[in-house]
Structure 1
Amino acid sequence: MQPGNYWLTDKDGDWTISTQGKEGPTGMEYLVGFPSKEFINTNNSYGYGCGCILSEASKESKEITRIFNFKALPLRVCKTDPSLREKTEEIENVMNDN
């Protein structure tokens, strides 16, 4: 079991990948770290980055059920994506409040 909390935010909302103490979906090994300059640490091990995940998900539970691939992307990709602009600002505001 891999400890930690992982979420994905995209244009459709927030998705749970895994939560501490629970088994994550098949394919967690694809979630390798972000380059340090492309990850914003907010406190302890928490923070955010930008990436693309190829996955299966449950629309009902808003959970990622299987991960097929992951690619870390430069933060600017998410920050300048018009479909993510509102979500990116929301995440930054929440993280900066902590």
Structure 2
Amino acid sequence: MTDKDGDWTISTQGKEGPTGMEYLVGFPSKEFINTNNSYGYGCGCILSEASKESKEITRIFNFKALPLRVCKTDPSLREKTEEIENVMNDN
């Protein structure tokens, strides 16, 4: 997950994810950019606890998918969304 403070790991393949993963129910297909099989990105709001040291989400309390335009037009996320789009366009 990327927010104004940086990149955060929600889950790593082969490792149990944080409590509350069931809240991450997904995005409407028109609001999800698929980059590789089931991997990709969308825009959403996650209420969570995180470890600043490890940059890992440790518990999820709630999630709400939002339209992509919300993140793309949020001034605090503009640099991050441009960076993500540039990486995706290079692949």
Gaps of 5+ in 2: none
Contact 1:17 1:64 in 2 (8 A): yes
2:17 is aligned with 1:31: no
Q: What is the CA-CA distance between 1:43 and the residue it aligns to?
A: 1.9
**For 1:7-66, what per-residue CA distance to the aligned partner results, in whole angstroms no more than 9, with x for missing partners?**
x10000000000110000000000001000000111211110000000000000000000
Query: Normalising to structure 1: TM-score of the pair?
Result: 0.90
Contact 1:47 1:95 in 2 (8 A): no
Paired residues in the alignment total: 91
Contact 1:42 1:96 in 2 (8 A): no
Give the secondary-structure state (helix, strand or coil) at the position aligned to 1:17: coil
Q: Percent identity?
A: 99
Give the secondary-structure state (helix, strand or coil) at the position aligned to 1:49: strand
Counterpart Cα distance in 1 of 2:49 and 2:36? 29
Give the secondary-structure state (helix, strand or coil) at the position aligned to 1:89: helix
Gaps of 5+ in 1: 1-7
Contact 1:78 1:85 in 2 (8 A): yes
RMSD (Å) for aligned C-alpha atoms: 0.7
Counterpart Cα distance in 2 of 1:54 and 1:12? 14
Deviates more, 1:39-48 or 1:67-76: 39-48
Query: Normalising to structure 2: TM-score of the pair?
Result: 0.97
Between the two structures, name the one with larger relative contact order (CA 8 Å, sep ≥ 6): 2
